[in-house]
């Protein structure tokens, strides 16, 4: 087995579940190579013992979660089921994001690999009193990188509600970590081509530190509003910053009205065009609470359209209370003429992951 371990951090997830470029091949500033693989891709290696058992199907089922939200449904991650032989023989796979589904009670190449990374004593500790456990190993062969080991005994009965819920939570952890690592990879690529002028403008007007790639240019700005975009013949990718006079009470209820308010400023050359939020048809906008730089933020995701024109797509909106007690928002939205709009939204996700309000 031709593997060299370059040092790693191991995190054990004992609980029942908790809440560039597509191919990078450069070397980072550390000793390890930069991680490889496509953005939004996860390699999965399943122990041969489980190949014909419901446990494998359940793992793949819980990994098949939708990316929220784009017009053409897409998964959160493209799942590539591979053989363990391809992992040990491929440098590209050893430096990518990977999930290993391991039977710890039967000898196999995949168990040998788990023992190489984790040691048998650690595996036994993780599974003490349990049928399965999830272990995360960070930055083993590349940076940033996540290797997950789903450790299980001979026949985990996923028909049991408790175990099924545990497995669902574990797979959501894997997907979330994959998104986080991809955000880091994308931001690392963007960091060498930042538009400092726009970053300074956003900092001065809205009090927001963030990474803005140099491909973005300023479209319009007023006292409480700024609109930047990146355009190609196929792509229309915009970010809007807006300070509302609305009080910061019940921010979640005010996000969509505020969005439709500044949407009147987002137009095309078509007469009577304006951006609006698709809030009265499925998929409806969804919200969740985040904490960024110690500040509570409401994240909203949904679909938008350009009235009286043919543009439309997904958006993500961050809203928070500013120093004046009112609401500031950052809103990213994309139109892409090809089918793969998820990939363009992932760039927006990465940029928004750098926001420090």
CA distances from 202 to 34, 192, 329 (A): 30, 19, 12
Residue 3 lies in a domain: no
Residues 41 and 181 in one domain: yes
What digits encode the pLDDT tens for the residues 214-265? 999 999 999 999 999 999 999 999 999 999 999 999 999 999 999 999 999 9
Residue 4 lies in a domain: no
Residues 180 and 206 in one domain: no
Q: How confident is the model at residue 279 (pLDDT cuts 50, 70, 90)?
A: very high
Q: Which of 38, 110, 23, 40 is nearest to 78 (CA)?
A: 40
Q: Which of 137-141, 189-193, 209-213, 313-317 is predicted least confidently?
A: 137-141
Residues 180 and 258 in one domain: no
> Which CATH number does the domain housing residue 44 bear?
3.40.50
Predicted TM-score of the model (pTM): 0.89
Residues 114 and 212 in one domain: no
**In the listed set 166, 190, 214, which residue is the last one of a domain according to the structure?**
190
**pLDDT at 313 exceeding the cut of 90:** yes
Phi, psi of 225 (to 5 degrees): -145, 140
CB 172 within 8 A of CB 312: no
Residues 63 and 119 in one domain: yes
C-alpha 26/C-alpha 99 separation (Å) is: 23
Residues 258 and 323 in one domain: yes
What pLDDT is recorded for position 90?
66
Q: What share of the chain is helix, strand, coil (3-state, %, to 5)?
A: 30, 35, 35
Residues 275 and 206 in one domain: yes
C-alpha 132/C-alpha 122 separation (Å) is: 13
Mean pLDDT, residues 34-48 taken together: 94
Residues 235 and 343 in one domain: yes
Q: Which of 217, 216, 174 is nearest to 11 (CA)?
A: 174
Residues 222 and 330 in one domain: yes
C-alpha 79/C-alpha 64 separation (Å) is: 8
In sequence order, which residues have a C-beta less than 8 Å from that of residue 175 and are 6 or more positions away? 42, 63, 65, 76, 77
What digits encode the pLDDT tens for the residues 51-84? 999 999 999 999 999 999 999 999 999 999 999 9
Residue 2 lies in a domain: no
Residue 1 lies in a domain: no
Residue 259 lies in a domain: yes
Angle at 299 between CA 302 and CA 332, to 5 degrees: 60
- Whether omega for the bond prior to residue 283 falls within 30 degrees of 0, making it cis, is yes
Name the residue range of residue 342's domain: 196-353
> Which CATH number does the domain housing residue 315 bear?
3.40.1000
**pLDDT at 23 exceeding the cut of 80:** no
**In the listed set 175, 190, 205, which residue is the last one of a domain according to the structure?**
190
The DSSP line for 139-188 is SSSSBS-EEEEEEE-S---TTSHHHHHHHHHHHHHHHHHHHHHHHHHHHH
Residues 172 and 212 in one domain: no
Q: How far apart are the first and last CA of the chain?
A: 47
Residues 231 and 102 in one domain: no
**In the listed set 190, 210, 225, which residue is the last one of a domain according to the structure?**
190
Q: Which of 148, 145, 138 is nearest to 172 (CA)?
A: 148
CA distances from 353 to 65, 87, 181, 188, 318 (A): 21, 30, 11, 12, 10
Residues 202 and 262 in one domain: yes
Tell me 281's DSSP state. S
Residue 214 lies in a domain: yes
Q: How many domains does the chain have?
A: 2
What pLDDT is recorded for position 7?
47
C-alpha 207/C-alpha 221 separation (Å) is: 15
């Amino acid at each position: 087995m031709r593997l060299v371990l370059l040092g790693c951090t191991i995190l054990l997830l004992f609980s029942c579940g908790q809440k560039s470029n597509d191919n990078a091949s450069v070397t980072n500033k550390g000793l390890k190579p930069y991680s490889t693989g496509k953005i939004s891709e996860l390699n999965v290696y399943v122990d041969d013992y489980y190949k014909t058992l419901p446990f494998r199907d359940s793992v793949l089922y819980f990994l098949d979660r939708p990316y929220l939200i784009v017009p053409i449904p897409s998964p959160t991650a493209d799942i590539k089921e591979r053989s363990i032989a391809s992992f040990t023989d491929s440098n590209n796979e050893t430096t990518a994001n990977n999930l290993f589904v391991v039977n710890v009670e039967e000898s196999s190449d995949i168990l040998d690999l788990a023992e190489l990374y984790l040691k048998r004593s650690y595996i036994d500790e993780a599974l003490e009193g349990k049928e399965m456990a999830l272990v995360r190993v960070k930055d083993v062969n590349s940076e940033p990188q996540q290797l997950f080991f789903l450790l299980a005994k001979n026949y985990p009965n996923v028909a049991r509600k408790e175990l099924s819920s545990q497995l669902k939570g574990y797979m959501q952890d894997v997907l979330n970590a994959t998104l986080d690592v991809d955000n880091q990879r994308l931001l690392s690529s963007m960091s060498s081509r930042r538009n400092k002028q726009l970053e300074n403008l956003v900092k001065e007007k809205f009090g927001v530190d963030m990474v803005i790639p140099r491909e973005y240019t300023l479209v319009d700005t007023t006292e409480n509003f700024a609109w930047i975009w990146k355009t190609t013949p196929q792509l229309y990718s915009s970010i809007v910053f807006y300070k509302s006079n609305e009080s910061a009470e019940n921010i979640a209820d005010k996000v969509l009205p505020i969005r439709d308010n500044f949407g009147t400023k987002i137009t095309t050359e078509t007469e009577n065009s304006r951006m609006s939020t698709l809030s009265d048809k499925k998929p409806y906008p969804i919200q969740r609470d985040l904490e960024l730089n110690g500040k509570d933020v409401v994240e909203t995701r949904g679909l938008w359209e350009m009235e009286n024109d043919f543009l439309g797509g997904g958006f993500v909106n961050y809203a928070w209370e500013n120093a004046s007690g009112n609401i500031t928002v950052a809103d990213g939205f994309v139109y892409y003429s090809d089918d793969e709009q998820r990939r363009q939204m992932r760039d927006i996700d990465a940029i928004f992951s750098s926001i420090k309000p």
